[in-house]
Chains A and B, each alone.
Chain A
């Protein structure tokens, strides 16, 4: 019979429409604008509407999510920014589109390199968000950001000023990674101390 297929197809849409309201009633008032509701809508049990109403509600980003990288600094005792980067250059070497520029610092007296960058640039209009820089950084000094709302009215080349973000921010976006790094650092320091003790 002609038209049956069309009716069936329309039935799918109608079912979805009704399901939305049935779910709304079952979740009275809790279905929108909270993480629990979003999780439910995306789960196997979710029926009906699927939309996440950005910007009023935002899809939670997973820990491993990566956008443009940033540089981490530890807050020193007197508010001094202790940049973790030692300008070893691994990130600049591993970067596939070569969008990282680093100027290494030299000691003004001796002329020998000191472990801190003078300048650090990332061209966000070249960056491919691959995460290699963060993955291979031995000092956890460069981390992939979670902030994706960085649309602007001009091109984006980030210098060190714009790239630096505190370690507390890193902790807030990637708690598990942060904890793991801290553990590794502590272990490393302990090993170093033990070695020094053994030597003395």
Chain B
């Protein structure tokens, strides 16, 4: 690899004259790449400049003239990332070359853009709808597409005040329901089969064996209602005996239109919606979003608020990993007893969240420029008790009774999840990547908040098997405890909010990407503001969604029972996966 150029000094326009121009719109950064040169530029970025981790791909609809596809790549060695964009006229068919051959991690994200924006990616291996079903009418994230309960482009809606006669949304829709059909549609004449595309994608696994005899392979649909899929996730698995030979995840069963609603909301109104992304870790979700908006606004939270953010985020990480370990054992067959023990400390952490923010799970704690309120009396002591006593005790207890347990060891040791190189290619972040030996942690790679002040190790394991994925969670709990101990000692007195709390915030025009190391991986929020009260584009880079891209790669060749455990350690949460 050539010597690495700093992202700030890297001049792509000089390297690719005529093909790349700098993005000079006010508030924007990065490069605009010609559609024809995209593959070439992307390959160079990866191979020559070392941007090996494609963080996210997303579309933006600049109604009425352009569509844009935004790529954001990072180096796994750390440092800032690079944005590059492709602009295409907003006339169907909209086509952009796929980057999946370069970064396989783009596969599902490109499918999502195809689904929600109708941009076709040429050379994509399996371009189907992903969140909505085949046959759905329209591409919902386009600005000129309106949902059945459409009222106005932006909140607050005028019908609520001052003449807010209660009228449910159903009453305004001709179907008296959340429905929308093309004109002249006749439901009895429907001909397409929604599942045909999925099974078509699996048809290639119908192979013949060596003797020329055709082997019948079984397709098993796990989910959407299945106890081990951690929610309404579905996987169509092709089995040869007990071995997985093909697998296609099917998602969208919890697609709650987060991004469409987010573009209708004002900036502040999005805060409680972020709680419901990864509903285990609302504290970290809040942080990612407030980072992105604070970057645009140019405000900085006061010291005490920074510490409170760290404390809450780390507590959140601990309870997330506790559940993960408990539920992983559930998946391995020790039904619910370990989970009961894991839930105990989680309840105590949730008590702290409840006392501080008001609810157990949907904390809605961050505000732009601080946090909603200070710790109430007595909560500091509770956190200290937990951090000094109960959580380390629980981690040791798990260690004592699980780590050496022969059932666990025989089920987990040597069952490969993914190796480091593939993990980077598939844009995997978080503990799964670190268990495969890549020390990439956003808290160290590009520190946010005050993480540069703490002394902690990036938890790292090298085998990338199930067992390491389990151990790394315990390691991370211990590291979080270390951070918490330091944070509790250093936390200063003072205000928790910069300026006065406001419900209308002014966010200057521009784009912004705020990312944090969420317990499940890199959680990012990509926001485009036009200077109005509502974001023009609000995109969530959800770690669960992107980590699942490699599921087929991880599971092929394994036993079906291991698929359940692998899904368990990837740590998906459906609210974030489907958004």
Contact = CB atoms under 8 A, between A and B. Distances in A.
B356 A94 contact: no
B160 A44 contact: no
B351 A119 contact: no
Contacts of B122: none
Contacts of A136: 501, 503
A44 B344 contact: no
Contacts of B156: 92-95, 98
A131 B364 contact: yes
A47 to B, nearest CB: 11
Interface string A6-33: 1011011100000000000000000000
Interface residues of B, number: 54
A62 B160 contact: no
B166 A132 contact: no
11 contacts: A44-B386, A50-B344, A50-B347, A93-B161, A94-B269, A100-B160, A102-B161, A103-B162, A103-B164, A123-B168, A159-B166
Interface in B304-329: none
B499 to A, nearest CB: 14
Contacts of A37: none
A119 B165 CA distance: 8
A129 B362 contact: yes
B155 interface: yes
Contact of A130 (B168, B272, B501): B272
Interface of A: 2, 4-6, 8-9, 11-13, 42-44, 50, 61-66, 87, 89-90, 92-96, 98, 100-104, 113, 119, 121, 123, 128-132, 135-136, 144, 157, 159
A98 B155 contact: yes
Contacts of B257: none
Nearest to A89: B161
A101 B356 contact: no
Contact of A119 (B166, B364, B400): B166
Q: 6 nearest interchain CB pairs? A: A101-B164, A5-B405, A130-B272, A89-B161, A104-B162, A96-B269
B358 interface: yes
Contacts of B406: 2, 4-5
B341 interface: yes
Nearest to A128: B272
Contacts of B351: 42, 62
B385 interface: yes
A2 B410 CA distance: 11
Contact of A64 (B355, B390, B407): B355
A103 B167 CA distance: 12
Contact of A5 (B357, B372, B408): B408
Contact of A12 (B166, B356, B397): B397
B164 A63 contact: no
Contact of A102 (B162, B354, B357, B390): B162
Contacts, number: 138
Contact of B373 (A64, A93, A119, A129): A64
B359 A66 contact: yes
Nearest to A176: B376
B285 to A, nearest CB: 13
A123 B376 contact: no
B513 to A, nearest CB: 23
Interface string B264-308: 010011111101100000000000000000000000000000000
A35 B68 CA distance: 58
A52 to B, nearest CB: 9
Contacts of A5: 401, 404-408
B359 A96 contact: no
A102 B272 CA distance: 22
Nearest to B166: A121
B389 interface: yes
B348 interface: yes
B136 interface: no
Given A63-B376, A96-B269, A8 B405 contact: yes
A128 B362 contact: yes
Contacts of A89: 160-162
Contacts of A62: 351, 354-355, 376
Given A5-B405, A121-B166, A44 B389 contact: yes
A102 B358 contact: no
A122 B163 CA distance: 14
Given A66-B359, A103-B162, A136-B501, A94 B268 contact: yes
Contacts of A87: 161-162
A64 B407 CA distance: 44
Interface in B332-382: 334, 337, 341, 344, 347-348, 351, 354-359, 362, 364, 372-373, 376
B157 interface: yes
Contact of B164 (A65, A100, A135): A100
A131 B140 CA distance: 30
A122 to B, nearest CB: 9
Contact of A98 (B160, B347, B358): B160
B164 A9 contact: no
A44 B355 CA distance: 17
Given A5-B405, A8-B401, A12-B341, A103 B165 contact: yes
Contacts of B275: 130
A181 B348 CA distance: 30
Contact of A132 (B159, B163, B268): B268
B163 A64 contact: no
A132 B156 CA distance: 14
Contacts of B397: 12
Contacts of B155: 96, 98
Nearest to B351: A42
Contact of B166 (A104, A123, A131): A123
B533 to A, nearest CB: 10
Interface in B216-271: 265, 268-271
Contact of B160 (A2, A13, A64, A92): A92
Contacts of A103: 162-165
A2 B409 CA distance: 12
Nearest to A144: B358
Contacts of B265: 96
A113 to B, nearest CB: 7
A101 B386 CA distance: 43
